[in-house]
Amino acid sequence: MQGADTQLGLIENYTSRSDYTASWDKEIDLCKDSIQRINKMNPKPRFYVICGDMLDAFPYEGTQRGFRERQLVDFTEIFKELDPAVKLVCVCGNHDVGDVPSQDSIDLYRKQFGSDFFSFWVGGVKFVVLNSQHFKCPNAVPEEVSKQTKFLDELLALSKSEPKPKHMVVFQHIPFFLRDPEEEDDGYYNIDKETRVQLLEKLRHIGVRYIFCGHYHGNAGGVYKDVEEIVTSAIGAPLRNDPSGFRIVTVSEEEITHEFVPFFETLEIEKEKLKIMF
C-alpha cells in the first residue's frame, strides 16, 4: 500500500486561514479509515508506505514545533492500530524537515521517524527511500546532500555485483515531474529540469523502473523513457479534483501495477477553500 501526505493539521490550518490551529480530527479519521481498510485485507499487504508529510507543522523552533510534537503523538497512537503484520515505512517530506532543511531539522526527523534515505528488500524487490528535499535545496545542508549522493553511488556499484532484483522501486515525496519529463520548473511541485534529468538517468542506470511520490495532493505522473513515475493524492487533505485515498500496488514477476482507492465521502471540505497557492 502506498500513500502520502497524512499531514495532520493541514485541513483546519488552511481552511481557517489562521496562523495555526490545534485540530486535526479530519486527518485522524482519514488515517484510521486507511488503516481499517488495510487491516481487513486478506492477504495483508507486505507494508504501508507514506511518501512524506506525515505531519503538517514544520520542525522550526517555536510555536510550530510545539504543534508538531502534539501531531507526532497522535500520529503514533493512530498507527498503533495498524496490523502488526503490516510494516509502516515513512518517507521524508518538505513539512518533515522544512522547505529549506537544516541539520537540526534533519536530526529531529531522524529522531522522530528514522533514516531519511535507505533501501530494503521485500520478496525479491529492492525498494529505495530518498529525501527529495536534498534535490530541491541542494545547498541547504551540503554535507547531508553528499551523504545521499554517496548512497546512490553505492547503489549503482551494488547493482553491478549483487543479485538482480525482480524490480527496483523508489519512494520519495516531491515528484521529479507532474505530467511530462520536459515540463518547466514550477518552483514547488516538481524538481528543476536540469537536476530532474540527471537524477532520472542515474536512477535508470541503478535499475529503477518505478518511482512513487506524493506532495501534489492529487493524482498525476508519467513516463521518462522506461521509468514510470506515479504521484498519489493525499491520505489527508485533497487539493485537486481527486479525493483523499491511497494506492494498492500489485507486484508480479513481470511488472508492477497500481490502483488508486478513494476513501469515504464524508469529508466535507469546500473545494475553493483548499485551492491554495504555495
Query: Mean pLDDT over residues 206-223, rounded?
Result: 98
Residue 160 belongs to some domain of the structure: yes
Residue 272 located in a structural domain:
no
Answer yes or no: is pLDDT of 40 > 60: yes
Residue 276 domain-assigned?
Answer: no
Per-residue pLDDT averaged across 162-188, rounded?
96
Which range has the worst mean pLDDT, 61-70, 110-119, 258-267? 258-267
According to DSSP, residue 258 is labeled E
Residue 169 has pLDDT above 60, yes or no: yes
Tell me the mean pLDDT in the region 19-25. Answer: 76
Instruction: Tell me which residue range forms the domain holding 225.
Output: 2-266
Q: Does 29 map to a domain?
A: yes
pLDDT reading at 273 higher than 70: no
CA dihedral 199, 230, 226, 163 (to 10 degrees): 80
Q: Residue 274 domain-assigned?
A: no
**Local confidence band at 265 (pLDDT 50, 70, 90 cut-offs):** low
* pTM for the structure as a whole: 0.94
pLDDT band at 141 (very low <50, low <70, confident <90, very high): very high
Mean pLDDT (the chain, rounded): 92
Give residue-wise pLDDT tens across range 217-253: 999 999 999 999 999 999 999 988 899 999 999 999 9
Dig out the grid coordinates for 220 from the structure: 498525476
271 part of a folded domain: no
Number of domains making up the chain? 1
Query: In this model, does residue 87 exceed pLDDT 60?
Result: yes
105 in Cβ contact with 129 (< 8 Å): no
**E strands in the chain:** 2-3, 47-50, 87-90, 118-122, 125-129, 168-171, 210-213, 220-224, 227-231, 245-251, 256-262
**Neighbouring-strand partners of residue 104:** none
Dist CA 120 CA 97 (whole Å):
22
Question: CATH number of the domain that 33 lies in?
Answer: 3.60.21.10
When pLDDT is averaged across residues 246-261 and rounded to a whole number, the result is 97
Q: Band of the pLDDT at 99, cuts 50, 70, 90?
A: very high
Q: Select from 188, 76, 51 the least CA-distant residue to 129.
A: 51
Q: Is the pLDDT at 62 greater than 90, yes or no?
A: no
Q: From CA 139, how far away is CA 99, in angstroms rounded?
A: 12
Q: How far apart are CA 204 and CA 195, in angstroms?
A: 14
- Is residue 111 included in any domain, yes or no? yes
For residues 167-192, average pLDDT: 96
Query: 88: Cβ–Cβ under 8 A, 6 or more apart, which residues?
Result: 47, 48, 49, 50, 79, 82
Alpha-carbon distances, residue 41 vs 46, 74, 164 (angstroms)? 11, 24, 30
Residue 97: inside a domain: yes
